[in-house]
Structure 1
Amino acid sequence: MKIKELLDLAAKAEAGTQGNVDEAKARLLALGSDLVTVAKDEGRELSDEEQDALKAGAKGIDALDAVSARIKESAGIMAKFANLVPAGGGSPTGAGTGTTDAPEGARLNFRSKAATVHIASKMGDPTGAKAIASSGDAITGVPLDSTPYEQGRVANTALAILPFKTRPPQYTYLRQTTRDNQAAPVAVGALKPESKYGLTSVDGKLEVIAHVSEPTPEYWLIDNQSLTAFVQTEMQYGLERAVEAQVLGGNGTTPNLRGVLNTPGVQLQEFVDDATVTVRKGLTALETAGYEGGGIILHPADWEAIELSRRADGTPDLGSGIPVDRAAQRLWGLRIAVSNAVPEGTGLLFDLGALAVVGDGAVRTQWSSGVSDDFQRNQVRARTEGRFGLDVYQPNGIVKLDLDEAA
């Protein structure tokens, strides 16, 4: 399905019928990234069909870049003839609205959703260098270092390996609660034993997770287009951290999600010998219950301890190479995600079919000056939000690992 969508969108891009250039490019990048991620997760090379789709997507992106260049050139010409534009010919600055749809797929990826309406573009110049105001005056950006110098971000997240599904705001699914298998040899004419497979209906609901930025001077955004992208990226990063914290540790009190760590019915694996052995014991518990390991979530300090652990002869537990190949980031053949949202000394091991992060498929970023006296102060704010939930279909397909020897 993703391959077909990528090919269709690439064809529209080359034909010049794609609609919004920025949104089309963001979607092409997201679809291509998803194909590559799935292949890497499955430990395989790209198929011929996937390679052809990615090549078509690359051509489509080139075509979109060419359109963007033409738009930029046109804006420059318009700026030079700004004095010939009659009053009211430009677009006044207002509350911009950008909606970014999260592609449905195996994983929830905030980083593929970089699309919003720039304040500068609403004033006639998508580059933000020059613009035409509603009065017809030409506005020229002041010399400005266009790179906001931001603080570091945590690169890893549990959301990178947790399955993701698109859901409506309210929904219902069935969860099996018991399995009483009575199959046995039966004599001729005797009654057959009855097996029971209990099902229960579970009501699901998406909760809004959101935040609003501090007020930003409107002219900062006009003079520096990259500032808009910076604010949006920061807002999406903050939303991602909040979703991750709720998915793992939410207490279940509305509007909080009930996170995996607080879900009743998950298996518990006590500490045995060391963290590496404990994870392996947890994998056995999972397999004994009829599931298979799909991923492991650890606090960075616990993953560090495992990477640095040594056998009795002094060789590393994870192999003889020093340092450990961090790009692989696997233990017992399973992918590791490190997360600050899981407590140190606690890990999670799960079957990929046991749970899923759910959402309506959209992360929305909107700009507005309608808060307090922002309009009078020429200030705007960004609001980023989405609707999310957590479905746990098989609690005993999840193992909570005790990795603290002193506990």
Structure 2
Amino acid sequence: MNKFEQLKAKAMEHAKNARELAEKADNEKRVLTASEQDAFDGHIKSAGDLAEQAKEAKYSAEIEAKARALANEIGGAPSAKSAGPVGRKAWGRAGVKTVRESMGRVPGSKALVSGTVSMANPVSPSVAALGAAPLSVLALLMNASPDELAANPYNGVEMNTRPRYEDPLQQAAAIMGGDGGGSNTYSYLRQTVRDNKAAPVADGATKPTSVYTFKEIEDRYRVIAHVSEPLPQRFFHDDATLGQFLGDEMGYGLQRAVEAQALSGDGLGENFTGLLNASGINSQAWASDLLTTLRKAVTTLQGIGSAPTALVLNPVDAERVDLLREGVDSGKYLIGDPAADSARALWEVPRVTSVAVPAGTAVLGDWDRVDLLTRQEATLHVDTGGALFDKNQVKFRVEGRFGLEVKQPDAFVKIDIAEPAA
């Protein structure tokens, strides 16, 4: 029995109980007693509440079923066991499939043509299933629900899961007409002061004032892009997997660039002002040893009322944590079996590994306090024109337009875990 059926059964049980109370009083030619009336009202309210919950459960199940069907149709959504980072293989397959199908729809077309494929966004909001441990920094940055993203596509990563192909005429029309999605700039409120003064107050006394100060931050979206080197068209004719491989690789490259900018961008030129360079972020200096330093950072956040949701480490530092022993080269591992699932967390805080954070630095924080925005969905563009036409060559381009909101910098700690020289 699924959730909808369970809720429906409970609602019917309460309705039955209410009906039996009313029928009993009616058979006895009397009105309900005070206790019976209270019980009757309680059953009616419970039945109504459960009925509403049942409707929501049924609607959620239908949406989930449709989403799964769509994901299967375009190559599958990434899961917690995805073979590639953030489902990059599924992303590449979807783009190449659309290019091939589009070629078939263009009369007389026998080779790759110029145009743009709007991809399932490589910065996927489904990189980690609900309740699963985060697999990447991008998973941490994607904290809005799919329903919220679908309703507000420019408040987060767009939810266009069906790739579309634009021939040159369609592309020109899109450029002339725009997408109606807004401008290249955005603004948001960043909390700069959090001073809680809540306290017991006597009758007639003045209540204390807590201070929650916000600053309006104005920023703009950045284009993140790269192109492939020209390749002979015959490569694609001779090897049917090359287009998929190239799409996979370029999608992966875009994901890693976005992740690096979100964490470590220095704010100069076209770079993001990444989380590590945001004004107001906490810092934790080296404190005697690696585990002590990391634990003190947890204490810092807990002390200001923030609950850390993930710790991000460079792969080199993640190895250092995994291989800590009671002795220098022997003894028990301090965090337990490095291969066990329990090793993916420290003090119940999930660990995420990323080359986007420099070795010797770690980031601990409540990742609900930062958002990655997408202004322009990621696109795969295939070109054979111009000088490429004369040489019978092909180039791929992958690009998107993204922004970052660091809404509460003090919910993060930049940790110095580079062990000082002896």
* TM-score category of the 2 structures, normalised to the smaller one: 0.5 to 0.7
Kindly tell me: are residues 340 and 274 of structure 1, through their superposed partners in 2, closer, same or farther at Cα, counting changes over 3 Å? same
**What is aligned with 1:150?**
none
Distance apart, 1:179 and its partner CA: 3.1
Cα shift readout 1:239-281 (whole Å, capped 9, x = no counterpart): 1221122112111123110112211211111122321221111
- Pair 1:390 & 2:409 matched: no
Kindly tell me: are residues 285 and 374 of structure 1, through their superposed partners in 2, closer, same or farther at Cα, counting changes over 3 Å? same
Contact persistence 2:284–2:297 (CA under 8 A): yes
**What is aligned with 1:122?**
none
Unmatched 5+ residue regions in structure 2? 1-58, 82-96, 129-134, 145-155, 158-180
**What is aligned with 2:294?**
279
* Whole-angstrom CA distance in 2 between matches of 1:191 and 1:236: 58
* Whole-angstrom CA distance in 1 between matches of 2:322 and 2:110: 57
- Pair 1:25 & 2:73 matched: yes
Q: 1:263 aligns with which of 278, 284, 292?
A: 278
Kindly tell me: are residues 89 and 333 of structure 1, through their superposed partners in 2, closer, same or farther at Cα, counting changes over 3 Å? closer
Distance apart, 1:325 and its partner CA: 2.1
Kindly tell me: are residues 273 and 256 of structure 1, through their superposed partners in 2, closer, same or farther at Cα, counting changes over 3 Å? same
Contact persistence 1:95–1:367 (CA under 8 A): yes
Does the residue aligned with 2:193 lie in a helix, a strand or coil? coil
* Whole-angstrom CA distance in 1 between matches of 2:231 and 2:413: 45
Equivalent pairs counted in the alignment come to 299
Q: 1:316 aligns with which of 333, 338, 341?
A: 333
Contact persistence 2:311–2:365 (CA under 8 A): yes
- Pair 1:90 & 2:104 matched: no
* Whole-angstrom CA distance in 2 between matches of 1:224 and 1:230: 10
Instruction: Return the structure number with greater helix share.
Output: 2
Cα shift readout 1:51-82 (whole Å, capped 9, x = no counterpart): xxxxxxxxxxxxxxxxx9xx99xx9xxxxxxx
- Pair 1:230 & 2:288 matched: no
- Pair 1:307 & 2:318 matched: no
Kindly tell me: are residues 298 and 2 of structure 1, through their superposed partners in 2, closer, same or farther at Cα, counting changes over 3 Å? farther
Paired amino acid for 2:121: A
Contact persistence 2:315–2:353 (CA under 8 A): yes
Paired amino acid for 1:316: Y
Name the Cα RMSD after superposition: 3.4
Cα shift readout 1:194-219 (whole Å, capped 9, x = no counterpart): 44322222224321100111011112
TM-score (norm 1): 0.64
Q: 1:380 aligns with which of 394, 397, 403?
A: 394
Contact persistence 2:189–2:214 (CA under 8 A): yes
Q: 2:306 aligns with which of 260, 279, 291?
A: 291
The percent of aligned pairs where both chains have the same amino acid is 37
- Pair 1:354 & 2:412 matched: no
Does the residue aligned with 2:241 lie in a helix, a strand or coil? helix
Kindly tell me: are residues 194 and 339 of structure 1, through their superposed partners in 2, closer, same or farther at Cα, counting changes over 3 Å? closer
TM-score (norm 2): 0.62
* Whole-angstrom CA distance in 1 between matches of 2:233 and 2:187: 44
Contact persistence 1:354–1:392 (CA under 8 A): yes
Paired amino acid for 1:199: F
Contact persistence 1:267–1:399 (CA under 8 A): yes
Does the residue aligned with 1:198 lie in a helix, a strand or coil? strand
Distance apart, 1:343 and its partner CA: 1.5
Kindly tell me: are residues 183 and 296 of structure 1, through their superposed partners in 2, closer, same or farther at Cα, counting changes over 3 Å? closer
Distance apart, 1:284 and its partner CA: 0.8
**What is aligned with 2:384?**
369
* Whole-angstrom CA distance in 1 between matches of 2:220 and 2:127: 18
Distance apart, 1:293 and its partner CA: 1.3
- Pair 1:162 & 2:162 matched: no
- Pair 1:99 & 2:114 matched: no
* Whole-angstrom CA distance in 2 between matches of 1:96 and 1:306: 47
Structure 1 segments of 4 or more deviating over 6 A? none
Cα shift readout 1:345-381 (whole Å, capped 9, x = no counterpart): 111111122212222472210101235x111011110
Kindly tell me: are residues 174 and 268 of structure 1, through their superposed partners in 2, closer, same or farther at Cα, counting changes over 3 Å? same
Distance apart, 1:236 and its partner CA: 1.1
Contact persistence 2:122–2:378 (CA under 8 A): no
* Whole-angstrom CA distance in 2 between matches of 1:248 and 1:194: 35
Rg comparison, structure with higher value = 2
Kindly tell me: are residues 188 and 248 of structure 1, through their superposed partners in 2, closer, same or farther at Cα, counting changes over 3 Å? closer
**What is aligned with 2:190?**
175
* Whole-angstrom CA distance in 1 between matches of 2:197 and 2:369: 25
* Whole-angstrom CA distance in 2 between matches of 1:202 and 1:253: 16
Does the residue aligned with 2:254 lie in a helix, a strand or coil? helix
Does the residue aligned with 1:252 lie in a helix, a strand or coil? coil
Kindly tell me: are residues 89 and 308 of structure 1, through their superposed partners in 2, closer, same or farther at Cα, counting changes over 3 Å? closer
* Whole-angstrom CA distance in 2 between matches of 1:218 and 1:2: 46
Distance apart, 1:385 and its partner CA: 0.6
**What is aligned with 2:222?**
207
Unmatched 5+ residue regions in structure 1? 14-22, 38-67, 76-87, 110-155
* Whole-angstrom CA distance in 1 between matches of 2:143 and 2:385: 34
